[in-house]
Structure 1
Amino acid sequence: MAKKPKTDQEVAEFRARVCDAATRLFTERGPQNVTMRQLAAEVGVSAMTPYRYSRDKDEILATVRAVAYNKFASSLERAVKRAPDIRAKGRSVGDAYVRFAKRYPATYQLMFAFTQPDEERFPELVKANVRAQETMVGYVRLMIEEGLLSGDAQLIGYMFWATLHGIVVLELAGRLDRGIDARTLREKIMRTLYAGMQTSPPSLSA
């Protein structure tokens, strides 16, 4: 008797299980050291089952990273919407960024510690990556429109992004000296950046 086709929900649930397993294995071993057979074993299915839903390991990695970028972007977009006023958006985005990295360290690592050759082969990943980048620039554009900042929105957004990423990586790796608090370091650097742009820092303190 032929097997009953899986429902859309069952397919989505299986893919979610594969993504969870892939995130763990890719982070622990590195994508290059993970095989489809290992992924299948981690999920508890036959070696060929994952091929029914994905062409190969690269497609699974692309899917996992796209999910990560979208989750990241959603967190920051909510932070922007919930900020009480335009001056608080920068602080809200920074807080959401740090919370996400600490809550999902494996996901964060897959987003920024790994690259894939020919990423343009995966439209879903490209779209998610663009969305994530926009979250780090969009709120800056709003602040420029309100006269709180001046300059190129993309450049300023990437400056802030690089600052947050650097601090997060150092903190997660335990590389900050005991006398240096990550939150204080972030505030001091951001104040310095704002001062360098000759702009009063908006809502940097809680």
Structure 2
Amino acid sequence: MPRYLTDQDIADFRAELCKVATERFARFGYEGVTMRQLAEALGCSPKTPYRYFKDKADILATVRAQAFAKFSDALEKARAGASDPADRGRLTGEAYLAFALKNPHAYRIMFEIDAPVDEKHPELGPAAERAARYITRGAEEMAASGVIEADSKLFGWSMWAALHGIVMLHQSGMLAHGPDYKSLSYFLGLTMLKGAGAKFGPGGVVQGGKGKKK
């Protein structure tokens, strides 16, 4: 007689499948992973994963949505304790790098998998959008408070591109031939803030503005 699966059994299997899928997609890409391989890694029948997910695309969308959600949670937690816009921006950047380096597989499936973030999976689009908002919102807050005088959208996306570049260099091992990632991120952040018109006080502390520039 077949064993009855409880809600916890189902949740546990889905979680284990997502864990294995995240690692496999990160290592081999979407095309390099099959449902049969995932089943073999889990020690189950090739048909078993289909009881929990529609297909491979559904699994990828699910694990990407989960990764974006965890990423956003980390950024939110980091900036929650700061009231100064410049401090929130710095803490967000630090949390970004910390998450990427601690969770390389999750980071890869978020930003390196060649698969669109569309409306086919109801959780993926909102999760990705939430992450993007946390990354770029700091620039909007700094512009609104007068800390920077640059276009906030361009500044925010430029900072994102810089952080992503640091992660890629670190993950590829190239920073072994250059500065450590913390020194590089500090220098890039400082240079971009200066270029955006930020003013610095004693000890290199960014000085807050008095409201949005007219």
Q: Same fold (TM over 0.5)?
A: yes
Any stretches of 5+ residues in structure 1 without a counterpart? none
Query: How far apart are the structure 2 equivalents of 1:124 and 1:18?
Result: 18
- How far apart are 1:84 and its partner, in Å? 5.7
**1:53 partnered with 2:52:** yes
Gap change, CA 1:114 and 1:183, over 3 Å in 2: same
List alignment gaps of at least 5 residues for structure 2: 207-214
1:34: Cα distance to partner?
1.0
- For residues 141-197 of structure 1, the C-alpha deviation after alignment (integer angstroms, 9 at most, x for no partner) is 222232212343332211110011101110221113634232222222222211211
Instruction: Tell me: CA distance 1:168–1:44, structure 2 relative to 1, closer, same or farther (3 Å).
Output: same
| Shift in CA distance, 13/78, structure 1 to aligned 2, threshold 3 Å | same
Q: Is the 8 A contact 2:35 2:46 kept in 1?
A: yes
Measured in 2, the distance between the counterparts of 1:85 and 1:118 equals 33
Could you tell me the percent identity over the aligned residues?
Answer: 40
Answer with 141-150 or 15-24: which moved more: 141-150
Conservation of the 8 A alpha-carbon contact between 2:21 and 2:60:
yes
Take 1:197 and 1:50, find their aligned partners in 2: how far apart are those partners?
50
Range that drifts further, 57-66 or 74-83: 74-83
1:18-67: CA deviations, max 9, x gaps?
Answer: 11010111122222011111111111221111111111001101101111
**Alignment match, 1:123:** 122
Letter in 2 for 1:124: E
1: CA distance, partners of 2:134 / 2:172: 25
Task: Measure how far apart 1:203 and its partner are.
Answer: 4.8
Supply the distance in 2 between the matched residues of 1:203 and 1:104 (Cα, whole angstroms).
30
Equivalent residue number for residue 72 of structure 1: 71
1:77 to 1:126, Cα distance in 2 relative to 1, 3 A: same
Match of 2:180 in 1: 181
Number of residue equivalences = 203
Query: In structure 2, what residue type is equivalent to 1:110?
Result: I
Write the distance in 2 (CA, Å) between the matches of 1:177 and 1:35: 34
Give, in whole Å, the separation in 2 of the partners of 1:41 and 1:179: 41
Q: Return the alpha-carbon distance in structure 1 between the equivalents of residues 64 and 153 of structure 2.
A: 23
Contact 2:34-2:56 at 8 Å conserved across structures: yes
Flag the structure with higher helix content: 1
The aligned residue for residue 199 of structure 2 is: 200
User: Aligned in 2, Cα 1:2/1:179: closer, same or farther, shift over 3 Å?
Assistant: closer
